Amino acid sequence: MAQALASEPSLSVETATLQEPEHGLTEARLENTDVLVWWGHIAHAEVRDAVVDRVQKRVLEGMGLVVLHSGHYSKVFRRLLGTSGSLIWREAGEKERVWVCDPSHPIAQGIDRYFELPHEEMYGEPFGIPMPDELVFMSWFQGGEVFRSGCCWKRGAGRIFYFRPGHESFPTFYQPEVQTVLRNAVKWAVPRGPRWIDAIPNVRVSPEGIRQE
């Protein structure tokens, strides 16, 4: 995944893992991060709450967040969306057809009407998420289920994109269309404008000259 992103000359890519001190997501590192790409699986509970707090703060300030596959159940994703992230699933190596719902969206650029993954884990509706601000992709599976597989939200000043494909047992991240989506998503999620500081300032004098006594 990092190699696929690094193939884009405009991106500087580094990797952080659960086993590193502070999971590799120190305050200093996040301060210098424009977009965080998050993939996780069975170790969601092992992610320290202090690191989740830190990531949430940076997203609200404007850092982009791209969440992949089973990252739907990560602490940070559920925290930012305020819902369970629950879904139905089946691991049977089924074909997944990913349909483009919004051809004009920046994340869908370079993708045809649909692309297919020959072997993937099935995720199905209902998906425990808030209504997406934008729905970019919808998946159909060989067993008949459908799933909202490319969803965008804004939280604070930060942009969030969830992309469903990426089960660890299959070579999904080597597929060219998936790599195109990842590069597009990172560029879409880059902060725009100045950093927003989440604070509660006491504005003692209003623009019209009203004063707090």
Residue pLDDT, tens place only, 158-206: 999 999 999 999 999 999 999 999 999 999 999 998 898 888 889 999 9
pLDDT for position 199? 85
* Number of C-beta neighbours around residue 63 at 10 A: 24
Give the global pTM: 0.95
pLDDT of residue 198: 81
**pLDDT at position 193, please?**
87
pLDDT for 213: 85
List Cβ<8 Å contacts ≥24 apart for 11-14. 11/183, 11/186, 11/187
Q: Give, rounded to a whole angstrom, the gap between the first and last alpha carbons of the chain.
A: 57
Given this model, what pLDDT does residue 105 score?
Answer: 98
Question: What are the structural domain ranges in the chain?
Answer: 2-189
Residues of the chain with pLDDT under 50: none
CATH class of the domain whose range is 2-189: alpha beta
Q: For position 178, what pLDDT does the model report?
A: 98
